[in-house]
Structure 1
Amino acid sequence: MGAQRWLGVGQAKGSEPEAGARAADRALVHADAKLLVVFCSEALDPVAVLRQVDARSGGVPLIGCSTSGEIAPNGSGEGSVVVAALGGDGFSIRTAAAGSASRDLRAAGATTARCLTGLEERPHRVLLLLTDGLAGDQREILRGVYRVLGAGVPLVGGCSGAEGVARTFQMHGDQVLTDSVVAAAIGSDAPLGIGVRHGWRRVGDPMLVTSSGGNRVHTLNGRPALDVYLERLGAPAEAGTDEEEFARLALVHPLGLDHRDGEEEIRLIAGGDFADRSLVCIAEVPQAALVWLMEGDAESVRWAGGAACSDALAALGGHPPLGLLAFECVGRRPVLGQEGAQVEIDEITKCSGGAPVAGFYTYGEIAREQGVIGFHNQTLVVLSVA
């Protein structure tokens, strides 16, 4: 089975002529591709990249998105396009897209999830989701998926990134989309594994979320959430009035939500409202939840990368991996640093026995082996394919 199945990865810098074509050529190591996944820098022209990839593949089913940085076997980078190609015997693939997601996130999740219901039956399956992280509370998308598929189907993926925060894009077939959710249902004769780790540590005493709504935390311990957050960190005064100063601080100090399995759910703090003194997060922080300030360093965050890879490979039950897809929060990069990010990818590649890795830096990560939700921030998620 292993010789008939394959996963290829190609990367091309944006400065290379027809970067999409070059990345696709490097990924399409055999002629029988079943699915392409494209991670494209927002600095490139996505329409041109998609046209080039599609021309090389001959119309193979495709999903993709913009990134906050790309991951490939040679390491992490920016301003490039990465193509992962999955092919050979023993795979079933169906794809779907839902536009205008921000109007009804739950409906968008349900629409894309339905592509799995018509998938050719195989013993292993997963739904790969790429979403617009700026569209609203990502947990609502996953609630829509749950409404269609229930709790038993594994989910994996991430939120489209960008060099700034002005816009992201998604890809489906030969279309470039915005404000959308795209998905690929993957059925496989051999196992698929998921690993998810974050490497952040709790700081200080827990805080009670005394008022929240959607992805906004209004008060902690009965006081304005922004003020409590800054006081707990001993932040300089300018962090409470300057958006850039606050963003630099928040990127390396997420919130951790208490979780019954002992592993915190991490919430990236996307901003602070200096008028009403609330915290704005990428996803919901429920009222009455216990939360902690979190911190980490390059060593702890890099350790999580290796642990996520090991967990994903262990789930293959001894089957050698064909390759890995990695979804890593952009909030981890400042902690790792450029050198640390490269070391992390080298360690993941070593852990996989040299199997290729492709991925991107996200605005949020999706990983659920069972249960209802499965949305994460400032976390590394790894999908292994046997």
Structure 2
Amino acid sequence: MALFASVGSAQALDGREAGLQAAHQALNHLGANSPVFAMVIASHQYQAREVLNGVTSLLGELPMIGFSSPAGLTNEGHFQHSVVVALLSGDFQADAMWLPGYAQSGRETAAKVADHAAAREERQSLLVFADGFNGDAEQFCGAIPSGMSVLGALSSGDINTGNTYQMTGTQTGTGGMVAAFLRGEIKIGVGYDHGWDQVGKQFRVTRSRGFWLRTLDGRPASEAYAALFGYPARDWAFPPLSYLARLYPLGIELGDDLVARAPIRVEADGSFRMNATIRDGIDAYLLVGSRAACERAARDAAQQALLKLGDAKPVFALVLVDIAWQMLLKANPGAEIEAVRDILGANVPVAGGYTLGQIVSADDATPKFLNQHIVVIAFGEPVQSS
């Protein structure tokens, strides 16, 4: 049985109507094929329960996972205040799981995921969406057994209030993780990259506690940025600078790699609220992004995903993009999708959204938690041996 995919999107005043219209459009595009699995990307401005009610009124008890985002992404580009529904149909199976304890313990959540996966012998891929404001994604990734393929992202929304949500076919909430286990005749190729480069400015992390980066070079983090960019330190605690700080992440040396770690926002005391811990005493380098570098990164990520598919033809692409890209590409919304389509082809359905972090597995190693990246997850139908 061939693998088919379709995407529907809608904008409406309330979440139920937008979810209903998007699901209806996706079903129409799928034609006579019966959906096996659904993914939903919904505006954080909607009530999660309303979106779920609208989608499930048409899809019923279909295995489904979803997350909130400031904007949805499709082949047509970038849409705020919208719901995007992607459907997959084919000879594969999907289980959806709601894990409400993620914010309390990423390690325990990883153990539950691993236990669920171990109950089945066949090879499976795991797709996850988790709360971007609460919970420790690095801890979750570190506790996943190596060799287990985990892909996904952290949901985003209102940075000021921390409003974000996750959903399955029966439940919605904050502080949780949703997971889908995919097994059978489906092949997945993943690629990822980012468009931020080191510019030479170096800091020493002198005080960090949990997710809060307190001081750089012995002074509040906002003062360090104020001296660099020329805006008063007090202004960094208020919009728009409190959010735009994500455009200027820090590159942290982890082994031989320089890993991007980006603030979610700047707090009133001048500290940076991160969603990954940074230890004291290490060097951090300022990173700056550009439109050209991001478009190049999007094409590279799509090319990687295609290569990982091997002989399988891409049928659908899930594109998970850091929220910093939305800020950087504000004058050219949807530019990253155009770049992805340049590689995958105009006829491959695309769905995605903006996230507060990305999770990828590569080369049978422990999953990695990323900031600032675009992740392209291409779904294809395995080539049948004759």
- After TM superposition, the score normalised by the length of structure 2 is 0.89
Residue 136 of structure 2 corresponds to 137
Structure 1's unaligned 5+ residue stretches are: none
Structure 2's unaligned 5+ residue stretches are: 381-386
Residue 292 of structure 2 corresponds to 299
- Residues in 2 aligned to 1:120 and 1:38: alpha-carbon distance in whole angstroms: 28
Is 1:21 matched with 2:23?
no
Residue 345 of structure 1 corresponds to 337
Residue 108 of structure 1 corresponds to 109
Residue 302 of structure 2 corresponds to 309
- Residue 140 of structure 1 aligns with an amino acid whose one-letter code is Q
1:56-71 alignment, distance < 5 Å: 56-71=58-73
- Residues in 2 aligned to 1:165 and 1:107: alpha-carbon distance in whole angstroms: 28
Are 2:70 and 2:81, in contact at CA under 8 Å, matched by a contact in 1? no
- Residues in 1 aligned to 2:62 and 2:248: alpha-carbon distance in whole angstroms: 41
Pick closer, same or farther for the CA change 1:373–1:210 going to 2, 3 Å. farther
| Matched residue SS, 2:300 | helix
Q: Which one of the candidate residues 168, 175, 182 is aligned to 1:186?
A: 182
Is 1:55 matched with 2:57?
yes
Residue 95 of structure 2 corresponds to 94
Pick closer, same or farther for the CA change 1:168–1:385 going to 2, 3 Å. same
- Residues in 2 aligned to 1:172 and 1:266: alpha-carbon distance in whole angstroms: 30
1:1-386 alignment, distance < 5 Å: 4-15=2-13, 18-28=17-27, 29=30, 30-89=32-91, 91-119=92-120, 121-122=122-123, 125-144=124-143, 146=144, 150-166=145-161, 167-231=163-227, 233-238=228-233, 242-260=237-255, 262=257, 264-275=258-269, 277-339=270-332, 341-353=333-345, 354-369=347-362, 370-386=364-380
Once the 2 structures are TM-superposed, how far is the Cα of residue 274 of structure 1 from its aligned partner? Answer: 4.6
- Residue 122 of structure 2 aligns with an amino acid whose one-letter code is E
**Structure 1 residues 3-29: Cα deviation after superposition (integer angstroms, max 9, x where no partner):** x11121111112498322221122231
| Runs of 4 or more above 6 Å deviation | none
Aligned-residue CA RMSD (Å): 2.3
| Matched residue SS, 2:251 | strand
Are 1:82 and 1:358, in contact at CA under 8 Å, matched by a contact in 2? yes
- Residue 198 of structure 2 aligns with an amino acid whose one-letter code is R
Are 1:367 and 1:375, in contact at CA under 8 Å, matched by a contact in 2? yes
- Residue 117 of structure 2 aligns with an amino acid whose one-letter code is L
**Structure 1 residues 324-359: Cα deviation after superposition (integer angstroms, max 9, x where no partner):** 0011111111211242x3232122123112211101
| Matched residue SS, 2:313 | coil
The count of aligned residue pairs is 373
- Residues in 2 aligned to 1:58 and 1:245: alpha-carbon distance in whole angstroms: 41
| Matched residue SS, 2:314 | coil
